[in-house]
A = this chain, B = another copy of it.
């Protein structure tokens, strides 16, 4: 029998076969990280590429993507929405102690949400374009020109973000869901020179990756790649 006030662990979906060879760049990583930050156990349903487009998974995500999130009667997709849900669920519990993924102050909380949208809507799209060009357009005659044009745009965005970050540890006060999402988006640049050339952001990403919750999440997705998950 379910114990009162002890919610069942939510279930997320992730790729059965990591397309990034366990580097934690897929979109389940932000959700795993948020779950670890708020201290929620979870279970993972692994989905093959074939299963992504089949009706069972489409019912969880109409676009046939991961991650998805199921918790009791609530079913969500979109990593941004899932992370925000986890962060908001935690706000009520964190009164009187440090930590959590959203500030208690209403204005500061809204600014943290703003950085989540900035990560996903302003910074990520051009980074994803670069990945797509590298994956699918290497043989196209326009490859070099397209890549150069995209990398110029990414570098400009990174400069703008670094100016705002300045010498701060995080984007707005304490570490928040906005930082979690921004760090994860920047990680998609991987070992590229773009991130290496921007020292403030390189440090920012390193601070995110140094968090114990990140490391637990990273190890969990890595275990799937290594066949232990």
Q: How far is the CA of A81 from the CA of B115 in the complex (A)?
A: 8
Q: Report if A113 contacts B (CB, 8 A).
A: yes
Q: How far is the CA of A161 from the CA of B77 in the complex (A)?
A: 13
Which A73-109 residues have a C-beta within 8 angstroms of B?
Answer: 73-74, 76-81, 84-85, 107
Q: Report if A49 contacts B (CB, 8 A).
A: no
Q: How far is the CA of A59 from the CA of B78 in the complex (A)?
A: 30
Q: Report if A211 contacts B (CB, 8 A).
A: no
Q: Report if A141 contacts B (CB, 8 A).
A: yes
Which A103-132 residues have a C-beta within 8 angstroms of B?
Answer: 107, 110-111, 113-114, 116-118, 120-122, 124-125, 128-129
Copy total for this chain: 2
* CB-defined A-B contacts under 8 Å, sample of 10: A58-B163, A63-B160, A63-B161, A74-B110, A76-B114, A77-B118, A78-B114, A80-B121, A120-B121, A125-B128
Contact, CB under 8 Å: A73 / B107: yes
Closest chain B residue, CB of each to CB of A107: B74
Q: Report if A146 contacts B (CB, 8 A).
A: yes
Chain A residues at the B interface, C-beta cutoff of 8 Å: 58, 62-65, 73-74, 76-81, 84-85, 107, 110-111, 113-114, 116-118, 120-122, 124-125, 128-129, 140-142, 145-146, 157, 160-161, 163-164
CB distance from A143 to the nearest CB of B (A): 9
CB-defined contacts of A122 to chain B, threshold 8 Å: 63, 65, 78
CB-defined contacts of A145 to chain B, threshold 8 Å: 140
Closest chain B residue, CB of each to CB of A64: B160
Q: How far is the CA of A143 from the CA of B44 in the complex (A)?
A: 42
Contact, CB under 8 Å: B81 / A114: yes
Contact, CB under 8 Å: B63 / A118: yes
Q: Which 6 A-B pairs have the closest CB atoms?
A: A62-B164, A81-B114, A142-B142, A78-B117, A80-B117, A125-B125
CB distance from A106 to the nearest CB of B (A): 8
Contacts A64-B160, A81-B110, A141-B142 known; list 7 others, CB within 8 Å. Answer: A62-B161, A63-B157, A76-B111, A80-B121, A121-B121, A125-B129, A142-B146
CB distance from A46 to the nearest CB of B (A): 21
